[in-house]
Structure 1
């Protein structure tokens, strides 16, 4: 009998040796561990998306970047490397810079109007009125219409000879207006953009319904007017939603391509028939690709636009500090772990 048994202390029995003791992290019998099975399931489900991303996004981006340093015309197998010549031409070509300026002006007009109009509509349909569900549906319907169909519809509505707008003006004994040419074509495009403001309305409405009603009730008890309640409570709490709409609205407006469909002859050969006020940057890219066959130069134009969007987005995030109020502030640093008896 051992001394531990004589002293009344329990004895420890040796653990049986495991057959998989030498293979740490892998169960016996050659089976996969739980971590390996989860990784396999992840790649099984994410595999189709990863393949699509590599084939339809990563490869086209890389190929376009390579084309931007060449003089490729898309047809000839002989391609020469020209370095930064295409990028220098983008910044020195007056037509390209003018198209970028028109795109910037269009963005500066439509983005604020869309956000303000969508917010006003959201405030309206958020009121306890009858059939507000019907009003929400009717106001949102134009947003689900495809841009191609919406642009072609507006082209028919504002047609000089058979359009509904000039038909209504004839009833008022007013001469028809050539809406699809300068200087009116720009405002037709603005109207097309505002017609689909229901998308902004739905996002703003979701933000409004997320604001606690108790805050407005407390402000009303304290004697705040509706305008004070809107500017001191609603707008600050809605600032993350508005900031999101500003960023996505600018990105979408800079890539606007629908004006091409509001043209006399919307084909690659007749792309120059687009009114000058609506000859935007993406239309110029389309013309360089398919009308002029300058694949290298057009690819450089697209990468310049990509860099402009990245720069604008970065500046917006820097300027939003102190103006956007989040309900949960992002952690600036990891929370210090506390231990028992420690500080």
Structure 2
């Protein structure tokens, strides 16, 4: 390198150093910009979700914590004289045969009503997914019972199956059959099952959405291969609907074990006499209702509710564990990518 080239080399190096300094100064600025955007997005997220978060904390978490505290006491809701009994309420409920009988009836109702409602909803979804005349009207009529409030549904079924003036016994009278006390033992449980199936329109809508998401190319390929309609439904449609069926199973199980209002309103004795409700419909939630409002044992009833909460968590975990190998997801989870 000649002496004359030294100034130009020095100038080039100075230029590179200047550019490097500019990049160093601009990098923190870009980082600050990204940080400020992340902060604004985080603030916007919490601003929009804050009503739900506040409501969840005040109306769900707060009462649950309060009920947990009550479950360790003898509080009756009125008297200020209550005592801390520790696990006394829990020991009593595990030794109470009435609690176990009510829990058994609740489990039987859940394992019966949930599969029946899912099958009925899926059958209706397959029906209304076909190219029928007035298909939209048929979907609306089948879905309408699902939007009827539980109070209205309970009163409707109480009138339909009334022993003296109900439409069900009116039909039986036309064919020469004696009137049946539908709202008493042992028929009361069947009335509840019919009430569940009557409101299967909600499951129908969810199943219909799942059916319309199944690729038609798979059905066409199966038809070309000579597969029957039943084989196509069993081998293609049901596996692709398995996430929907899992969702319906979990939510249906949770809803079935928490049923209260229809049981009260369909009772022949009326909700004012909880203890005289038919034995077939005296489920776990009715036992809780009786302990709360008929006997005023707030502490014991709170313990019953917390046991139900734990049992629901266990049942949900078991459902996910048992169905982990049969549920088919068309999109792989994030962890497996």
Normalised to the residue count of structure 1, the TM-score between the two structures is 0.88
Greater shift, 35-44 or 96-105, is seen at 35-44
Match of 1:47 in 2: 50
1:78 to 69, 77, 81: 81
2:62 to 56, 59, 62: 59
Contact 1:72–1:80 (CA under 8 A) maintained in structure 2: yes
The Cα of 1:35 is off from its aligned counterpart by 3.4
Contact 2:184–2:268 (CA under 8 A) maintained in structure 1: no
User: Where does the alignment leave 5 or more consecutive residues of structure 2 unmatched?
Assistant: none
> What is the alpha-carbon distance in structure 2 between the residues aligned to residue 156 and residue 61 of structure 1?
36
> What is the alpha-carbon distance in structure 1 between the residues aligned to residue 213 and residue 333 of structure 2?
19
Match of 1:338 in 2: none
Match of 2:216 in 1: 213
Shift in CA distance, 4/39, structure 1 to aligned 2, threshold 3 Å: farther
Greater shift, 50-59 or 60-69, is seen at 50-59
**1:293-313, Cα deviation, whole Å (9 max, x unpaired):** 111100000010011111111
> What is the alpha-carbon distance in structure 1 between the residues aligned to residue 174 and residue 295 of structure 2?
45
Question: Secondary structure at the residue paired with 2:12?
Answer: coil
1:109 to 112, 123, 143: 112
Match of 2:145 in 1: 142
The Cα of 1:53 is off from its aligned counterpart by 1.3
**1:280-326, Cα deviation, whole Å (9 max, x unpaired):** 11011011011111111000000100111111111111111211111
Contact 1:207–1:241 (CA under 8 A) maintained in structure 2: yes
> What is the alpha-carbon distance in structure 1 between the residues aligned to residue 42 and residue 313 of structure 2?
33
**1:201-233, Cα deviation, whole Å (9 max, x unpaired):** 111111111111111111111111111111111
> What is the alpha-carbon distance in structure 1 between the residues aligned to residue 93 and residue 292 of structure 2?
14
1:247 aligns with 2:250: yes
The Cα of 1:89 is off from its aligned counterpart by 1.3
- Structural mapping, 1:208-287, within 5 Å: 208-257=211-260, 258-267=262-271, 269-287=272-290
User: Where does the alignment leave 5 or more consecutive residues of structure 1 unmatched?
Assistant: 336-343
Match of 1:161 in 2: 164
1:177 to 175, 180, 184: 180
Match of 1:341 in 2: none
Question: Secondary structure at the residue paired with 1:127?
Answer: coil
> What is the alpha-carbon distance in structure 2 between the residues aligned to residue 199 and residue 178 of structure 1?
29
Shift in CA distance, 33/321, structure 1 to aligned 2, threshold 3 Å: closer
Matched pairs, number: 329
CA RMSD of aligned residues (A): 2.6
Shift in CA distance, 78/23, structure 1 to aligned 2, threshold 3 Å: farther
> What is the alpha-carbon distance in structure 1 between the residues aligned to residue 236 and residue 101 of structure 2?
42
The Cα of 1:26 is off from its aligned counterpart by 6.3
Greater shift, 72-81 or 208-217, is seen at 72-81
The Cα of 1:145 is off from its aligned counterpart by 0.6
The Cα of 1:6 is off from its aligned counterpart by 6.0
1:189 aligns with 2:192: yes
Contact 2:203–2:248 (CA under 8 A) maintained in structure 1: yes
Contact 1:5–1:11 (CA under 8 A) maintained in structure 2: no
